[in-house]
Structure 1
Amino acid sequence: MEKLQLHNTHIPLFALLLFLIHFSSLQFLSLAYTPPTKYFINCGSASNVNANLRNFVGDSNSSDLISASVSRSGKGSTVKDSNESSGASPLALYQTARIFRHNSLYEFNIEDYGTYFVRFHFFAFSSLTTQTDLSTALFDVWTYGFNFTPKSYSNSAIIEEFLLTINPGKFKVYFVPRGSSFAFINAIEVFLAPPDLISDEAPLIHVSPAALINNNYTGVLSKSLQSIYRINVGGTELTPDDDKLWRTWVPDDGYINNPGAARNSTLDYRPNYRENNQNINEFTAPNQVYKTAKEMNINSSAQSTQFNPFNITWSFIVSKSASHLVRVHFCDIISPSMATLKFNLYIYGNFGLKIDSYYVAVPFYFDFVVDSDESGLMNISIGPRNDSDKPKTAYLNGLEIKEILNNSGPVPIVIAPKNNHVFLVVGSVIGGLVLICILVVVLFLVFKSRKPNSGVNSNWSPVVLVFGGGSSHSRGTRNGSLESNLNLGLKMPFAEIQFVTNNFNNKSLIGKGGFGIVYSGTFRDGRKVAVKRSEPGSNQGLPEFHTEIMVLSKIRHRNLVQLIGYCDDRSEMILVYEFMENGTLREHLYASDKPPSSWKQRLEICIGAARGLQYLHKGSAGGTIHRDVKSTNILLNENLVAKVADFGLSKTGPLDETHVSTVVKGTFGYLDPEYFKSQQLTEKSDVYSFGVVLLEVLCARPPIDPVLQREQVNLAEWAMICKKKGLLEEIVDPSVKDQIDPSSLRKFIETAEKCLQDCGADRPNMADVLWDLEYALQLQQNAMRREPHEDSTTNSSVAFVMPNVQRFPSISMSFARDDTPMLMDDGSHVKASEVFSQMRIDDAR
């Protein structure tokens, strides 16, 4: 049997134990696995299509699918290829597509826990009948495990493949158009993979400073994996017809560095799967992968000194900032008999692994998790061993590289329009739904008005909607009491929440976040609220639920979302907030069909959010660090007044001259690097995140955009690079670029740059940030009040001199000295204006 040894000069000997543990977990035979029949979806069509031994079911008219009422904002529209016989689109699968012009989703009913293949098919055809060119689409695809932007389209179909672990329940895939563009999809696959296809552990290879294994990477199956490369070394292209899991394998010729150093080898008979101890079968890789190989071209001039040591090397472009799961496939088809062939495997030229191949035609493989180096190029090599008394040669049969993805964060909001559903639901219907509705007796027990609790609308009369027996059980009783300092006056009965949301009617659904589903509701006096409900009976998110109540029940501020009430009856976790008519800040910048906000509006929104954060840090009891500041947690009311929301990750306590040691939490792209490295949380972590929001406001793009060039992926890093090069104005949002006064822009950029300093001590506090943003707004308003002939674009960029005035401390600092911050907030706004009045900034030129 194949045996793994470690190259003594590269890695410590104890890594051998890690490999043995890894492979011992694979010694049992897998459970019987039958290729699945669902879900294979032919999008935008009422017809089924047989493609590569799979039956793709049309999503428009099928007994297997529920089609909600047609709505362009949810269900989307269908489009058909005008040239059905096109050579570029040989399959009917790519002759229809579904188009979404608003945030929409597919929903799959998952019955079995396990690792699933999720594939998306894109083919950008043009439809003359609808005047639609799919190649112009710009959009993102989201799930709970990952999000991505489809690649640039070409004349052939593009298939994006992912593997992720999915729990039983609803698996949702969101399509999110960017700006005024649209999304499209030709076909989707979601099916259960063989149970032993991927192991949860693999040796972790650190590439820098020296490649070595020092532990195992645990939790592979908890991550989402994106297939980047699948190579049939020494063979031809294998199509989905050749693979029992419908995968595509491409030849290695385009990736090998020195083709003359290698030659192809083939096997004439079926590999012997029974002799290995890894439970390898034809689902691991097709027979053809193990029946072909690249081996060293011993007779080639490639053995000259310039190739010494004589290795065969393949190179692959990979993401610099990601880890990758690498699987190398071996099957000795070059030895005439049992020869115990020995050779070396190298990754990045440093990591060395001794491969001992005892048997002929017996497949085996190794998995590694490999950190990327800074080159963005992964090199994998094989070469002979000098200490071997066997033939000095080496071979490789196959190679797979999968990128390990970070979590996608909160899923997008899908808003249901009046009288229309927005979901395209895929899966099984809960049987007898209509019958249940007929049999349910809704009993309304109306009580006389009672004395209302604080925070509960005084016009309410409790209305109990009975949907089954059993008493109401408090979550506090089942899971321990809520903290004693909670404001229990905000507690609401579950029956009242049912009344407000019309028993959580789907027509009231307005979105979904990390905590749960959000509904709109209306009190008896007409006041609208937002009701956030976690999955009933779930304990997940309980600490965040408690924290949200504790924080928001103690504070009240014009720029913080107000908590109206909460419910922990019947094992429920429900939060009731004031309703924010204009959604999130992000929706007014990008990834939405809403018109972009003006520059003046953006400044006012940033100022409002800064006031809210400043009050959290210094004005609230004991001080509070938000810990998840981002554009989706800044909400806007009907007057576009900004309010900071979502306090589930917040930390409270005295923040002056102290820090909080805590597990790192937050959102990738906004996370303070100093906090990430040290796990020491301070209020300056919020300042860093707010600096990212400022850049988001300025550039109208997400903090992380993996579709861009590598140096542009991270907005904060890219903006600072442009700032140093004097090119920052070139990445300003074009929709507001002509509106911004150069002096206001300079002040705004300076503020963002100070927030993004690597060291927290070098960052300003929120009072300073607030002052600077108010100053930038005054500069903008000053430019707007000039006479028409005074062109701020030409005059200010060179001649404008910043006024030489004494800096006044932010009046918002007085919040900490007052127990009624709601009243002080209005006053502070007036006083801030008075400060700028004293500066006589209107006269500054």
Structure 2
Amino acid sequence: MEKLQLHNTHIPLFALLLFLLHFSSLHFLSLAYTPPNKYFINCGSASNVNAALRNFVGDSNSSDLISASVSLSGKSSTVKDSNQSSGASSLYQTARIFRQNSAYEFSIEDNGTYFLRLHFFAFSSPTTPTDLSTALFDVSASGFSLLLNFTPKSYSNSPILKEFLLTIPPGKFKVYFVPRESSFAFINAIEVFLAPPDLISDEAPLMHVSPAGKRNHNYTGVLSKSLLSIYRINVGGPALTPDNESLWRNWVPDDEYIKNPGAAVDSPLHSGRPNYQGNFTEFIAPDLVYQTAKQMNINNSSQSNLSNITWSFNVSKGAAHLVRVHFCDIISTSLATLKFNLYIYRNFGLKIDSYEYADYLAVPFYVDLVVDSDESGLMNISIGSRDDSDQKTAYLNGLEIKEILNNSGSVPLVRAHKNNHVFLVVGSVIGGLVLICILVAVLFLVFKSRKPKPVENSDWSPVPALGGGSSHSRVTDGTRNGSLGSNLNLGLKMPFSDIQFMTNNFDKKLHIGKGGFGNVYRGTFRDGKKVAVKRSEPGSNQGLPEFHTEIMVLSKIRHRNLVQLIGYCDDRSEMILVYEFMEKGTLREHLYASDKPPLSWKQRLEICIGAARGLQYLHKGSAGGTIHRDVKSTNILLNENLVAKVADFGLSKTGPLDETHVSTVVKGTFGYLDPEYFKTQQLTEKSDVYSFGVVLLEVLCARPPIDPTLQREQVNLAEWAMICKKKGLLEEIVDPSVKGQIDPNSLRKFIETTEKCLQDCGADRPNMADVLWDLEYALQLQQNAMRSEPHEDSITNSSAAFVMPSVQRFPSISMSFERDDTPILMDDGSYVKASEVFSQMRIDDAR
């Protein structure tokens, strides 16, 4: 049920700042929250870790803990992920293990509502017999049972975040970890900090809604209970992570939860800052939540009557939930013309009229309700138009659901152990043991005749290779709906049992990455050929449009510099893509943020040329022409010979491209996004050219397009390049590891090419064929210089001849908008695949 899980996706805080700067606002950083009482603990480590502008103090560093008024009681040990194969943040490479009842104790000075965040990541370390995924334990605090029978085994191989809101009085605040019977408990990191005032108010009774639609207005004392965050949704907008959120919260897009996507459209991005009034601040929700929305699809001619938009959420059965619905009218053109209905379970309706809250457009407000769930475990929330409204539409900006935990937890007692304290054991695990025994017996009977060896720590329970399960095909579903038609290459379809065999039944040891679509495994065919297998969580519809698009596009392409799709599987509610294995990973990994040796200038030019050839084929060589729409260094993959292959076609748009443009909702990755496309929503192949220009700057400078750790003027790579040009300090731009290698003439041509790609107006940019020619010429100049007499090639001496791009401030948030298009392509050439192929596997700016 928990949806606020962390992924290896990091969106910089300064990226959001630059996005807001694009709309002439510097307000975000100035109002960044500084909690008066705060503790950030890196558990099981003596080292401090910086994560999303927070300093997590190692709990083995006794002096720091004493100064931070934190103590640890109960017997415990530490463990480290020595292989670090997961690529997880260093915050998740250590853990503290408790084999008896133990607690962290925090000194609280200010009375108020506090965030308590518990971070869990079940890595397995070869240096210890402890498998963290087998832990089974309870967590309680402040008299409440927060987690009961908790185990990370049921979660995918990524960090898990459990967030609670608690009212804590001054004094000692203890968080207890209580192992179940012979098991143990663990924790990777803890956050405790005071929430901003009025984040949740108890001043007025809340409306209490039952599944049958009954209501009363007497629900009080919500802050006397503990609240578990279940969902935090940015409706119509992109994902937000702690890197760019003032309270370090996660907001996820709503596409996974919307029941009827055809009834909704994304509202245009609001260009101005929300008009906050009174005590309402961006700590309630970030600007970007209120600058984006979904509204009713009033242009859907197939509907005689407008359909309500409905979102559906899995929640705890028979539990009370605090539901906060966020609104900000960014769609009306004049005041007091729009009112609509908010529905819960279709049996409860509430009129929403923003002008009951404010006399201006774009004023944020929210509605809090206490909603009881029924025994279905589903909560449906809808919006719909009203007959008495001048505008027949409705909108929604954001949504939060928190479970109200009523169960009180007894405070564990303490036994002496080396001046520490121990607690009373809580609970039993007999039911869990019985269930595990049954599961093992079933799996043994199903798999005993199969070659693939079951792996007890796989990210999802193994699916039987023979019999059972649904034969339902997601791709067939899409064909029925008309989204795929006859363009699907069914010759690439693979049986699930073959994929089980090549991945050793999704052996955890073969896990090599994770992205927004799912987990990636290294696989091997029976003939020894290596592949990368990307698997979405079974039964999930997340990424279904991308899955369809990737199959349709890559099954039609044949080119040496484009990724190769070897096969796919859509059996038993699975979404699996199989690619040729790319040994060297992504271009970005070889430029920065890894320990790989730096590429030479000649190698960088050859990689850029290969990627340009792939894009040029997409634009002109494939049937109908295709715009990639998400060109970036993480989508350029390298094989063992460092041959570049363009990957990730989930956002691609298929032509014909001889038209001047294609009008479409803006999609892509900020930092690489064409500013002209962003403004006009008119996509052309020159948008790919712009993004490729940003990649060229990455190659030259060996740094990301957005780096929030630098001074403000250096955060945006293209802007920094412009500043360096004006100051005559172009040597500041070039990666020091290649400074002495670059021939001045080759560098000059490379810079000129980059400048042309980054022109503000698409008509002023070259096509990819011209870019390819210029890069090949730059390589020829470099090779001629290498064959000639060595000479001094000081970058400073040649800097006067360089022309740097004239780049305006442009959107630069390292995240992606939702996807929904399905492109197609043709054959010719050859292709590829990778250890983190398709979209994004383990890359920091992955969607």
Provide the TM-score with structure 2 as the length reference.
0.49
Q: TM-score, normalised by structure 1?
A: 0.49
Structure number with larger C-alpha Rg: 1
